[in-house]
Structure 1
């Protein structure tokens, strides 16, 4: 497989769902703005998870919801020149950024393609399927998880990483709680990115999803690690009001939110100043599940 720095490879054409449209139109520009947090901020998670992934040289790997391509590139270095990696995402801007980063490497075993895992994926082609903080946004999680299993060869393994409960993820929950002191929660008609970051926090529920999707040997491993939330207080405030649960509340409140912006920012600043300051910026606690399952041999 030969990598290319041209436009991303396109999967068989699919009609975009409302969620995919929302990611492309609303969220992608925000994610690009805060890429330094969303990629670099997860360094500790990567260091805890990647060395333990069941990937070996020569494997063929699918990275679902590959985003900016950093995980696909990490996986490509693990599988080596005898293996290959396909990164798939529904956001055009993410794929463009991924291609640009790939072009700066010497890797020839990676390609990126546009697609929606909830609708379809290549079938029976991969030894390992991976997703970092993507499956929790599936509107139809069983369908997405089933498609990921079907992408595996018999006996292949899937691993996906999701956030655990809000209480163990103050980097997401703290800001939302503060914003809700000033603004109403989003209504039932709010445009969202899907079920949200905590939709797969409950182990029994997700285990049942995995079973219904056809996986065996299902396992949950907890990983606690600090995450970067901003280079400084201002960066952290802007990040929280743009992305995640707090950002959704702020966005949906519209003009009311803007009218109260100064009060909200002041309250967030007070809380953020109490967090740990490291060399790279402000860090807070986080907790995730690393969930694995196997595609049966028969």
Structure 2
């Protein structure tokens, strides 16, 4: 797989991609046990619903640590192939390591930014798990995914639904905002954020603008792992997500109020479902499926 030749007038790498590589990637790696294991119940529900066919050629956009790409490689079998693309090289290094450990030979990983374009008309299926919400230009990113498909090819992406249905992220963010100011307009950010595609009507319009047809939304409700212990869950929230962004941008003030904030966050995790893996909280996502037109 190769990405399209970048426009020479466009910076080689966007500021947000730099931010992911420099700031967020180390945090994601530190909490890999939450971000991979925590989404296991969503994956168990969603991946079978994709109905991938043996021999299919699949692109996994924002593949992260490679777990979904490896799972889909197993689904398409030895005659199929999966390519995972992500903007963070550190994630791809771990994805390659996971593929080697699982002896998965029909998957490979490349570094790239979907918003800058993808190889066109090469794939039967394009997939993204909790990645498209961070496109700074969602229509451009979705359009690149559509162009990557062969005529009549299918796509699916998973995004978080409303804040009210995702207390595992929203409640912590609201709690931290009781103590700290919201990030300013000049704050470094990961993009629009985890709830940017929660609204069905708005997201449908973006997908139509990107050229997709046969757009369908299917709701999935299940629990996500938020940490091995209460302390782990608090640390995760203060590192990533809406709470983490607020905490990071507040700097010294955040550290001054850390004790109060941690006490307040601990109350959120009191009484949640707990098993040998850790703490689980309610979450809700959309599985959005669509097709590329039969003719370009």
- Please say whether Structure 1 and Structure 2 have the same fold, judged by a TM-score greater than 0.5: yes
Unaligned runs of 5+ in 2: 7-11
**Distance of 2:212 and 2:3 partners within structure 1:** 25
Matches within 5 A, 1:60-71: 60-71=57-68
Corresponding residue for residue 279 of structure 1:
276
**Hey, what does 2:127 align to over in structure 1?**
130
Change in CA separation of 1:203 and 1:12 when aligned onto 2, cut-off 3 Å: closer
CA distance in 1, matches of 2:234, 2:276: 18
Q: Alignment partner for residue 206 of structure 2, among 204, 209, 229?
A: 209
| 8 Å CA contact retained: 2:2, 2:119 | no
TM superposition shift of 1:106: 1.8
Q: In 1, distance between residues paired with 2:93 and 2:104?
A: 17
Partner of 1:6: none
Matches within 5 A, 1:3-22: 11=3, 15-22=12-19
Native 8 Å contact 2:4 2:118 kept in 1: no
Q: How does 1:256-271 map to 2 (within 5 A)?
A: 256-271=253-268
Secondary structure of 2:115's partner? coil
Contact 1:11 1:113 in 2 (8 A): no
Is structure 2 residue 49 aligned with structure 1 residue 52? yes
Among 98, 106, 110, the alignment partner of 1:109 is 106
CA contact 2:123–2:149 (8 Å) conserved in 1: yes
Secondary structure class of the residue paired with 1:220:
strand
| CA shift digits 1:222-277 (9 cap, x unpaired) | 00010000001000000000000000000000000011101111111122113221
TM-score, reference length from structure 1: 0.95
Alignment match of 1:252 (pick from 244, 249, 254): 249
Q: How far did residue 12 of structure 1 move?
A: 6.3
Q: Which contiguous aligned blocks of 4+ residues in structure 1 show a shift greater than 3 angstroms? A: 9-14
Report which stretch shifted further, 281-290 or 105-114: 105-114
Structure 1 CA distance, aligned partners of 2:191 and 2:228?
A: 28
Shift of 1:278: 2.0
Cα RMSD (Å): 1.2
Q: Matches of residues 226-237 of structure 1 in structure 2 within 5 Å?
A: 226-237=223-234
> 2-side partners of 1:129 and 1:43: how far apart?
20
* Number of residue pairs aligned between Structure 1 and Structure 2: 290
Counterpart among 164, 188, 201 of residue 185 in structure 2:
188
Structure 2 counterpart of 1:295: 292
1:112-159 Cα distance to aligned partner (Å, 9 max, x none): 000000011010000000000000000000000000000000110010
TM-score (norm 2): 0.96
- Is the aligned partner of 1:172 residue 2:169? yes
